[in-house]
Amino acid sequence: MALITGSSTIDWSGISLAQVDFEGDLVKFVNRLVQILIELGNGQFVPIFFSPTLLVVDLFSGGKSPNRGLRVRRQIPIYNQLVQL
């Protein structure tokens, strides 16, 4: 436990911070990102909104994914078909 010093009259020594599992959270994030990219590549989504630089979809696994930028056209094969509608 770190000793907090200074001119404050508040005794912070009794305040505990929640334990953080940074490595575990990072692994969860990477796994979810990989899952999202696989779903987008396989067309496992329902389009909600699309424009020349934005595609928002509902993923089959749950959640929404906003995809922005000029690379959207190359990363998601069905995107060009949606824009032509």
Q: What residues does each domain of the chain span?
A: 43-85
Strand order in the sheet with 54-59: 45-51, 54-59, 64-68
Residue 64 has pLDDT above 60, yes or no: yes
The least confident of 21-25, 45-49, 58-62, 65-69 is 65-69
Residue 11 has pLDDT above 70, yes or no: yes
Residue 2 has pLDDT above 70, yes or no: no
Let me know the angle formed at the C-alpha of 76 by 41 and 29, rounded to the nearest 5 degrees.
60
Q: Give the pLDDT of residue 60.
A: 94
Question: In sequence order, what are the residues at sequence separation of 6 or more whose Cβ sits closer than 8 angstroms to the Cβ of residue 65?
Answer: 36, 40, 45, 56, 57, 59
Q: Give the pLDDT of residue 81.
A: 57
Specify the 3-state DSSP secondary structure of 2. Answer: coil
